[in-house]
Structure 1
Amino acid sequence: MLILIAGPYRSNTNDDLSLIAQNMHNMEDAALAVYRKGHTPICGEWIALPLIQTAGSTQLGDTIFNEIFHPVAVQLIDHCDAVLRIGGPSAGADEMMNQAKQKGKQTFWRLEELTER
């Protein structure tokens, strides 16, 4: 399965870059675990962040950032089989789970719910 990893990115960081980096590291750790279970992981940030930079964003949360960041992940759900929610509070990650349910995709709240392929 192609599985979108949904977790906090900016949530509860006060835009502290080291905390954001830790959140990204957590999503990438989850992606590796998904891969090792025989599935293909994807993080929306892997697509959104280069687009945001190329489009000329100058700071987190600016107009360009907001135009691309969450919409890319919502679009990715159409191509994924499932969404895995990780980490702590995050309105964006919760929205990814809601979108996945609305689109009839599988949702997982713990890595352990995924079966090995």
Structure 2
Amino acid sequence: MTTIDDSRPLLILIAGPYASGTGGDPELMRRNLKRLEEAAWPIFRAGHIPMIGEWVALPVLHSAGASGPLDPLAKQVMYPTAERLLQHCDAVPRLPGESTGADQDVAIARERGIPVYTSLEEIPGAAVAV
């Protein structure tokens, strides 16, 4: 496992459901993204930099001319974006809920020795920031 350097802010990739379980319903995906984003403030307040893969992947899809996250091009962008981000991230909190992409993020993180947290309170500095 990678040792956490408490002297610098961590780049933390928030992993959880986005498209999983939505049946492609844009409103349900929006709600899932909102839930992911709700985890951003506690991470930031703890002194770190929150990251969500969709914050990068969705603009990339848009700039490529895709119609959205259900466009066939999304398979070439969504999961690969998270995998590339994990080359730079220091930790991954896994939010509850079924999600193939979040499970892939966790697997990649563990393979690379990146800490995976099952609650936001486990993140360094989170208890102090409350």
TM exceeding 0.5: yes
Aligned pair 1:65/2:74, yes or no? yes
2:65 and 2:96 map into 1 onto residues whose CA distance is: 29
Aligned residues: 117
The residue that corresponds to 2:94 in the other structure is 85
The alignment status of 1:14 with 2:19, answered yes or no, reads no
User: Which blocks of at least 5 consecutive residues in structure 2 are unaligned?
Assistant: 1-9
Show structure 1 runs of 5+ residues with no match: none
SS at match of 2:39: helix
Tell me how far 1:10 sits from its aligned partner.
0.5
Q: TM-score, normalised by structure 1?
A: 0.94
Q: Considering only CA atoms, is the larger Rg found in Structure 1 or Structure 2?
A: 2
1:30 to 18, 25, 39: 39
Sequence identity of aligned pairs in percent?
Answer: 41
Q: Determine if the alignment matches structure 1 residue 101 to structure 2 residue 110.
A: yes
SS at match of 1:6: coil
Structure-2-length-normalised TM-score: 0.85
Runs of 4+ in structure 1 displaced over 4 angstroms?
A: none
Q: Greater helix share, 1 or 2?
A: 1
Q: Counterparts of 1:80 and 1:104 in 2: how far apart (Å)?
A: 11
Equivalent residues of 2:12, 2:48 under 8 A apart: yes
Letter in 1 for 2:88: H
Write out per-residue CA displacement over residues 59-113 of structure 1, whole angstroms, 9 at most, x where no aligned residue: 4333211100110001100101011111311011011000001111111111111
- CA gap of 1:3–1:59, structure 2 versus 1, over 3 A, is closer
Q: Report the CA distance between 1:56 and its aligned residue.
A: 1.2
User: 1-side partners of 2:124 and 2:62: how far apart?
Assistant: 36
